Amino acid sequence: MSTAPAPDARSRAASPLHALAALGARTDGAPAPRPRGIGHGGGGATVDSIAPEALTPDDGSALARAADPASWAAETAAPALRRGSMSGTDIDEAVDRYAALYPGTEFHAEEGPGDFAYRYSFVGDDNVTLRSSSFPARHWGRMPALPDYVVAWWREGSGAVDVGSHEVRSSGSRPFLLPSGRSFSFRCEPGVQNLVHIDGGFLEETAAEVHDGRPRPLVFDHAKAPGVEQSSLWRRAVGEASPVLQDAESSPLLRMQAGLLVARATLQLFPWHDVPFSAEMRAPRMSSVRTAIEYLHHHADRPITPADAARAAGISTRVLQLAVRRYEDTTPSALLRGIRLDRVRAELRDASPATTTVRAVAEQWGFGHLGRFAASYADRFGELPSATLRG
């Protein structure tokens, strides 16, 4: 897998989808490279990497590497701009290629009565890529935990994630978020979809501007549809950033600013919280426990219990208790109480003593005994809630 320097000079793994690409005309005025077919069914896959000071050599070696999928993931330095595509008319080929986009993907499709022709394309850099997928057949399966945060919308068709009792459906032009940090099932009707992939590390670093902490995984409430105003602002940001992200002549600074514009708008689009999961809790086998903890974060403003979170994640309350005790050194009830204390603190920091009281905010978050609440608050944050409110 290729690596690329993060804004803080660390290296992080690049998305495997950077290795699969979407090509039309080159934005630098040069002709597009000749597509090389890969696989069967007459389909083609092309990749084009453009770096400001590293043009395609004349000996054809770059095109030879582009024709070899294995070499796409072997690059050691990511160029400023990447674009590419895959397309074809064979549904078995399409299933194989879509399943290969991320290791561990289960992908199934059922061809309909009409002609079948698929296309997948992307353009962007290590931080943000703009993608489109046209798949004219019903398809379903399961995705592994993605390395990116993905916002999508439909130009045609519809779909659902977390198929079953917690199913979240999507259709039309309203943006929706794919689940992050865990695997998820999906089911889609024939359709055309646009997607914006934001590198996980990049978005988490951007979010650190807001929570004033170290970059760490973000928990989004993907089940909550964004409002009309938030959707409009996000679309405006993506529209403004798109020409820069697609232009090979864009300077690194312009490209970074365009990526930040999209990342910051995405953080305004859906409710989210940063969760300092331990390394053990981030292991794939702990995905159900993480889902339960994410449930606590998303529903902390509601009258829920840890049992509700365990039930939503498909595990027993006992399993949740043991895992949280072992890996987070606390209990689910204490974890939920801490989440609510954090929300109280956030509200007090943004409020004015002229219009808000500590009691009102505390009661809003379920703390009815003001004395016990103040003691818990001081123990967690090192100051009384009244001091936080005064600023």
Q: What is the pLDDT of residues 94-128, one digit of tens each?
A: 999 999 998 889 999 998 888 999 999 999 999 99
- Res. 20: pLDDT tops 60: no
Q: What is the mean pLDDT of residues 247-256?
A: 92
- Res. 152: pLDDT tops 70: yes
d(CA 386, CA 366): 17
Better-scored residue on pLDDT, 163 or 378:
378
- Domain at 3-269: CATH code: 2.60.120.10
Residue 313 makes CB contacts below 8 A (sequence gap 6+) with 288, 289, 291, 292, 295, 320
CA 312 vs. chain centroid, Å, equals: 21
- In this predicted model, what pLDDT tens digit does every residue of 65-83 receive, in sequence order? 333 333 333 333 344 788 9
- Res. 10: pLDDT tops 80: no
d(CA 196, CA 335): 33
- Res. 33: pLDDT tops 50: no
Task: Give domain 273-390's CATH superfamily.
Answer: Homeodomain-like (1.10.10.60)
Q: What is the mean pLDDT of residues 161-190?
A: 88
> pLDDT band for position 58 (50/70/90)?
very low
Tokens of 260: 């930040």
Better-scored residue on pLDDT, 315 or 45:
315
Better-scored residue on pLDDT, 275 or 143:
143
Provide the 3-class DSSP secondary structure of residue 368. Answer: coil
CA 383 vs. chain centroid, Å, equals: 35
The pLDDT of residue 85: 94
The pLDDT of residue 184: 87
d(CA 253, CA 236): 20
Instruction: Confirm whether pTM is higher than 0.85.
Output: no
The pLDDT of residue 46: 56
- Res. 343: pLDDT tops 90: no
- Res. 192: pLDDT tops 90: yes
- In this predicted model, what pLDDT tens digit does every residue of 345-370 receive, in sequence order? 888 887 888 888 999 999 989 999 99
Q: What is the mean pLDDT of residues 196-215?
A: 86
The pLDDT of residue 53: 32
The pLDDT of residue 388: 92
Torsion sign across C-alpha atoms 248, 249, 252, 253: negative
String of b and e for 239-261 (b: at least 16 CB within 10 Å)? eebbebbbbbebeeeebbebbbb
**For residues 227, 229, 234 and 238, what is the CA-based torsion angle, rounded to 10 degrees?**
130
Average pLDDT of the residues of the chain? 80
Better-scored residue on pLDDT, 97 or 162:
97
If DSSP states are collapsed to H, E and C, what string results for 123-176? EECCCEEEEEEEECCEEEEEECCCCEEEEEEEEECEEEECCCCCCEEEECCCCE
Q: Contact at 8 Å (CB) between 67 and 1?
A: no
The pLDDT of residue 315: 94
Better-scored residue on pLDDT, 213 or 329:
329
Strand-pair category, 106-110 with 138-143: antiparallel
Q: Where are the domains of the chain?
A: 3-269, 273-390
Q: What is the mean pLDDT of residues 135-156?
A: 94
d(CA 24, CA 33): 9
Give me the residue label for tokens 């917690």: 166
- Res. 89: pLDDT tops 80: yes
Percent of the chain past pLDDT 70, that is, above it, reads 79
